[in-house]
Amino acid sequence: MKFRTFAAFVGPSIFLMVLFIAAPLVTVFLQSFQLNQPIVERVEVETCTPGFPAQKCVTEVKTQPLLDENGNVRTTSTWVGFESYANVLQLDRVAEAISDGRPGRILTIDFWKALRFTLTFTLVTLPLVIGVGLAIALAVNNLTRALRGQIIFVSLLPFIITPVIGALSIRWLFIGDGILTSLLESWLDRDISMFAQGWTIEAMMLFYRVWHVAPFAFVVFYAGLQTVNQDTLESAIIDGASRWERLRYVIIPHLMPLIVFIALIHLMDAYRAFEEVVGFSSQAHRITLQWLTYDYLTPDDSGNRSISRASASAMLTMVGIVILLIPLLRRSWRDHRGG
């Protein structure tokens, strides 16, 4: 292929990747080392109240942000090095908690609390998504052709639903006098409040993630099952291999590249979980790293946003994703070299 033809095909993709991925990433990286503060000015403000025989006036000195010609608040950027990262990690409080012999206090720090739940959310749901998706694919693959279409359609419904809508649907089933909460209360003969405790909210968020993402794994595995060598399976049956042995020694090794692929996609997606926190309104009990970044960007009462902390949190989130992906990427590289 000529270079001009290659550039015509690849050039637009590279340009868009640089414009929408590389450039914002570099900008966030630089902002994590800067402190953006509004420029303020002190002005005298005279406040008068009606009175008799004369009105009463009080002069006060107030601090207010300086506006530009467009009415926007003027800001100034200062290079602060790793100060934003230190403010997010709060390592001094971590060291203090460890020295006091109370490591549990670390989870009261927003970043470490979000990191704990994010890792739990990612690593617990990963094997469940793969296992449930593979189980559904095996079950559908053994059905008659007349039933496969309907079962595939029903199985894909959780994946088709918008994530926030799906999370809200699960929440409405349990919150207050939801259908499932009412059934549990009548069965157990006691009042139940699923959203009053952190562990119940966490369990529902884990269940929702598996329910929502398992259909994606099912579709990938089902496609992979269509390419399994039937001669190898028949030979295993003739040799007396049980159903479990055929699954373990024939089907799973054949599907291993797809398992690695699903694990890569799931790790990248689950580590950036955000919809679950919004849908289940779990901010008081469980937060994720992605939601923490969003919280830093939310304006406070005076309209200021912690852009530097949000950038530092975003970069730490990306570093965490890379660390989780390293084992799978190494395996993929070894398989590629071996192939």
pLDDT digits (tens, 9 = 90+) for 199-234: 888 999 999 999 999 999 999 999 999 888 888 888
- One-letter amino acid at 235 equals S
- pLDDT of 121 > 90? The answer is yes
Identify whether residues 174 and 264 lie together within a single domain: yes
Clarify whether residues 167 and 310 are in a common domain. yes
| Helices (H), ranges, 247-339 | 252-270, 275-280, 289-297, 307-338
* Better-scored residue on pLDDT, 170 or 65: 170
Q: 253 and 165, same structural domain?
A: yes
On whether residue 77 sits in a domain, the answer given is: no
Residue tagged 């006060």 (tokens)? 60
The verdict on residue 78 lying in a domain is: no
pLDDT above 70 (res 185): yes
Q: How many domains does the chain have?
A: 2
CATH number of the domain at 261, please. 1.10.3720.10
pLDDT over 80 at 75, yes or no = no
In a domain, 97, yes or no: no
Residue 240, phi-psi category: left (phi > 0), alpha (psi -120 to 50), beta (remainder): left
In a domain, 20, yes or no: yes
Judgement on whether residues 123 and 13 belong to the same structural domain of the protein: no
Over residues 155-176, mean pLDDT: 83
Q: Which range marks the domain in which residue 21 is found?
A: 1-31
Q: Is 138 within the bounds of a domain?
A: yes
Task: Answer yes or no: is 60 within a domain.
Answer: no
Q: Is-contact 60 67, C-beta < 8 A?
A: no
8 Å CB contact between 209 and 125: yes
Among residues 141, 139, 335, 127, the alpha carbon closest in space to that of 228 is found at: 141
Does residue 27 share a domain with residue 161? no
Q: What tokens does 315 get? A: 């970069």
If asked whether residues 20 and 108 sit together in one domain, one would say no
DSSP H/E element including 45: strand 40-49
Which sign, positive or negative, has the C-alpha torsion 113, 116, 119, 122? negative
Fill in the DSSP letter of residue 250.
Answer: I
The pLDDT value recorded for residue 339 is 55
Q: Same structural domain for residues 114 and 263?
A: yes
- Residue in 119, 103, 135, 123 with CA at minimum distance from that of residue 288: 119
Helices (H), the chain: 3-17, 23-31, 83-89, 91-99, 110-141, 145-160, 163-174, 179-188, 198-225, 230-238, 243-246, 252-270, 275-280, 289-297, 307-338
13/145 same-domain check: no
286 is written with which tokens?
A: 């469980």
> How do residues 275-333 score in pLDDT, each as one tens digit?
889 888 888 889 999 999 999 988 876 667 788 999 999 999 999 999 999 988 888 88
